[in-house]
Amino acid sequence: MAALEGSADDLPPPYLGDPHGLHWAAYRSGAVVDDSTEAEDFTVEGTRLRVMWDEGAGPLWSDDGLLPDDAEWLKRALGLSDSLIADLLGWLHDMDTAQRHHQSPPSLDERAEHLAGRVQAEVGPRFKVRYQR
């Protein structure tokens, strides 16, 4: 059991062999290690956006398909406000709940129409926004 115990100082070096002679290293000698992840793409293709629910997906879709529902992504890619993003995600949650109970209250469609108008106001003329039932 004692062999499994130890501190970070007890870790083996990141190479096998003599570091001053022949050896194998877990990294390329002299190379710069880039730990950053691949840059996230905030590009939205096309000219149309739809507020739309689909099982397990939504609330925004572009000409290319479903857009991420991550708040930070929606802010950076589309410039949406925090309050609009919260309302879109709230509507999505309510739609999921209604569909699970086999309901389709007209108030959810009215909310979606209103949300589409708010999205249109925030994205401006770059996109044509509509609600798709």
Residues 44/78, Cβ–Cβ less than 8 Å: yes
pLDDT over 90 at 103, yes or no: no
- The pLDDT assigned to 58 comes to 83
Residue 73 included in any domain? yes
The per-residue pLDDT for range 70-97, each reduced to its tens digit, is 999 999 999 999 999 999 999 999 999 9
Residue 49, number of CB atoms within 10 A of its CB: 22
- The pLDDT assigned to 57 comes to 86
Residue 20 included in any domain? no
Residue 57 included in any domain? yes
Q: How confident is the model at residue 32 (pLDDT cuts 50, 70, 90)?
A: low
Residue 22 included in any domain? no
Number of domains comprising the chain: 1
Residue 122 included in any domain? yes
- pTM for this predicted structure: 0.68
- The pLDDT assigned to 24 comes to 62
Secondary structure class of 66 (helix, strand, coil): strand
Report the C-alpha gap between 52 and 42 in whole angstroms: 20
Residue 28 included in any domain? no
Residue 54 included in any domain? yes
Report the C-alpha gap between 116 and 113 in whole angstroms: 5
Summarize the confidence of residues 39-67 as an average pLDDT: 87
H helices then E strands: how many in the chain?
A: 3, 6
Residue 18 included in any domain? no
Question: Residue 97: which domain range?
Answer: 48-132
The pairing of strands 48-52 and 128-132 is parallel
Residues 53/90, Cβ–Cβ less than 8 Å: no
